[in-house]
Amino acid sequence: MQVAMRRDGRSKPRCPNCEVALNVVREGEIAIYDLPIADKAAVWITLPAIQGRCPKCYELSTPRPPEVHPTRNATWRLMRAVATWASVCPASAVAIIFEISEATVRRYERDVLEADLPEPDFDNLEILLIDEKSVRKGHGYVTVVLNGLTGELLHMAEGKKKESLESFFAKLTDAQKASIRAVCIDRNGAYRSVLREELPKAEVVHDRFHIIANLNAALNEVRRSEWRAARAEGKKAIKGSRFLLTAGRENLDDDGLTRLLELTAINANISTAYILKEEFRHIYAVATSPRSGAMRLRRWCSLVEASGIAPLCRFARGILRDLPAITAFFKHRITSGRIESFNNQIARVIHRACGMTNLKHLFLKMRAQSLKQI
């Protein structure tokens, strides 16, 4: 379907900068793609294109109606409809619905998001959540920064080195940096060095879930070592027991508890490692302050050293090294649960899009997603 439009001769085209009537230089016609009507998927609007020179600023311009994108030959309502579909469907499906190419779907969505999304709010930041996320094969990572209180996506930059995080702090003023009181990260050394430089007064909090995951990895290393040293009957009991050892005791059913008791009864090192793991988890449940947490963790590390179990000893030395950041959890009680959930959303968006090559487009899609949840 084609709809022909003409200009009202009672008004002249005006300069988009200063609203002065333009001196007409050249006239032509353009075709604009619009929303489907009934069974007509392809709808074109033809309208006159008048190029004029502003007598005040001497610039050439071709004014368009505000309903038409300034550079794309499409109406904003069509582009917003495409963007709405693209937020929940693969680009290939949206392209079929509107009879356009997949590349055009992505361009329309990116343009709409750029036009409609507000700028990130850097004022009154108190808590930051920082993590890295793999977005493509071959160690393709991005650094993600969220507002820890609202979940708003503030920053996404390629890589997981210090430069990726420094580009975020380059956007903040000194006053905005001063309002940040705590930052939750994993034990990535590159991020810590940037935080020491940019936020010397903010406390770094090492997330408890990452710490427990590191402990479970050490416990599994003990299990593997004992399996290699065991005889045939012992191997059979140890094999397949990873979940029994790493899961919380409260999450096991009766059959699981029975198997766990049998396993710990026949292997002293696994039994000791499991008891130490449960004691470590208990510290997070009962410690009420950084001082109380530090005292309990130091005592726990002493028990680990006395056990002589090498993987746990390495883990305990790391705990003592990072003790201030680990015990800061007992003051701020913040975790990376929100950002880990957000990383899962990134993975789903990338999977639905069959991969994302444009990082800016991914940032805009995920920022829109984060703002919906506030």
Q: Which residues contact 332 (CB under 8 A, 6 or more apart)?
A: 127, 181, 182, 184, 203, 205
Q: Which of 24, 26, 22 is nearest to 55 (CA)?
A: 22
Q: Which long-range contacts (CB under 8 A, 24 or more apart) does 42-46 make?
A: 42/1, 42/99, 43/1, 43/2, 43/3, 44/1, 44/2, 44/3, 45/2, 45/3, 45/4, 45/5, 45/75, 46/2, 46/3, 46/4, 46/5
Radius of gyration of the chain (CA): 29
Phi, psi of 355, rounded to the nearest 5 degrees: 105, 145
Predicted TM-score (pTM) of this structure: 0.84
**Which residues in the chain land under pLDDT 70?**
138-139, 188-189
Residue with tokens 């680009």: 91
Quickly list DSSP for 36-66.
Answer: -BTTB--EEEEEEEEEEE-TTT--EE----T
Strand partners, 142: 133, 158
Residue 36 has which token pair? 């489907």
d(C-alpha 74, C-alpha 62), whole Å: 15
Any idea how long the chain is?
Answer: 374
Reduce the DSSP state of residue 82 to 3 states and report it: helix
Q: How far is CA 84 from CA 12, 102, 108, 189, in A?
A: 35, 14, 10, 40
Residue 168 burial by Cβ neighbours in a 10 Å radius (0-12, 13-18, 19+): buried
d(CA 303, CA 315): 12
Please enumerate, as own/partner, the contacts of 256-264 that have beta carbons within 8 Å and a separation of 24 or more.
262/237, 263/237, 263/238
Predicted local confidence at residue 188, as pLDDT: 66
Q: Where are the alpha helices (DSSP H) in the chain?
A: 76-86, 91-98, 102-116, 162-169, 174-178, 189-198, 208-229, 232-238, 242-246, 254-266, 268-286, 290-307, 310-321, 323-327, 329-332, 337-352, 359-372
Encode burial over 2-23: b for 16+ CB neighbours within 10 A, e otherwise.
eeeeeeeeeeebebeeeeeebe
Strands of the sheet with 182-185, listed across from one edge = 153-158, 140-147, 127-136, 182-185, 203-206
Angle separating helix axes 337-352 and 359-372, nearest 10 degrees: 120
Q: What is the pLDDT of residue 248?
A: 84
